[in-house]
Homo-oligomer: A and B are copies of this chain.
Amino acid sequence: MSEKVWSVYLAGEIHSDWRERIEAGAREAGLPVAFTAPVTDHPASDDAGTGTLGPEPVKFWADQMGAGVNAIRTQTMIRDADLLVVRFGDKYRQWNAAFDAGFAAALGTPYVTLHDGELDHALKEVDRAAQATARTPEQVVAVLRYAIRGELPR
């Protein structure tokens, strides 16, 4: 009988290497996880609408077209996910990360937040609805390993 492959969606900040560190850590630990994520190539993400459906001169509508096309990807992946990791960086506002967390909370899908302590107060509602708040990608890997294998770091 084959082992369950956990589906983990990595939401939020796209300007640091946190996804790579989590994926590398999970690979090293041999965890059966299929990671998914929004498109993290920022220019491609911004052009998701006009690049697929054709030009739109007004920025607001171009953004709306892009957000719709991105949502096909992200909402499908979020609905498929067993768990989300939601990352907030110290730059940018990342409202879509908080949106994804709220979406997951209403679906009853568990999520882990990943951010520095200085954001704690601003993120208290988002953290409260999470199952865990991590400070480092390595802690997220430890949570995944425990959740899937029941093993703690030595």
Contacts and interface: CB of A to CB of B under 8 A. Distances in A.
A117 to B, nearest CB: 7
A71 B4 contact: no
Given A39-B150, A59-B120, 19 more contacts: A4-B34, A41-B150, A48-B152, A52-B143, A53-B139, A53-B143, A59-B121, A63-B121, A65-B132, A67-B128, A68-B131, A69-B131, A71-B110, A76-B82, A88-B95, A97-B98, A99-B126, A102-B102, A106-B108
Contacts of A117: 60
| Copies per complex of this chain | 8
A143 B141 CA distance: 32
Q: How large is the interface on A (under 10, 10 to 19, 20 to 34, 35 or more residues)?
A: 35 or more
A102 to B, nearest CB: 3
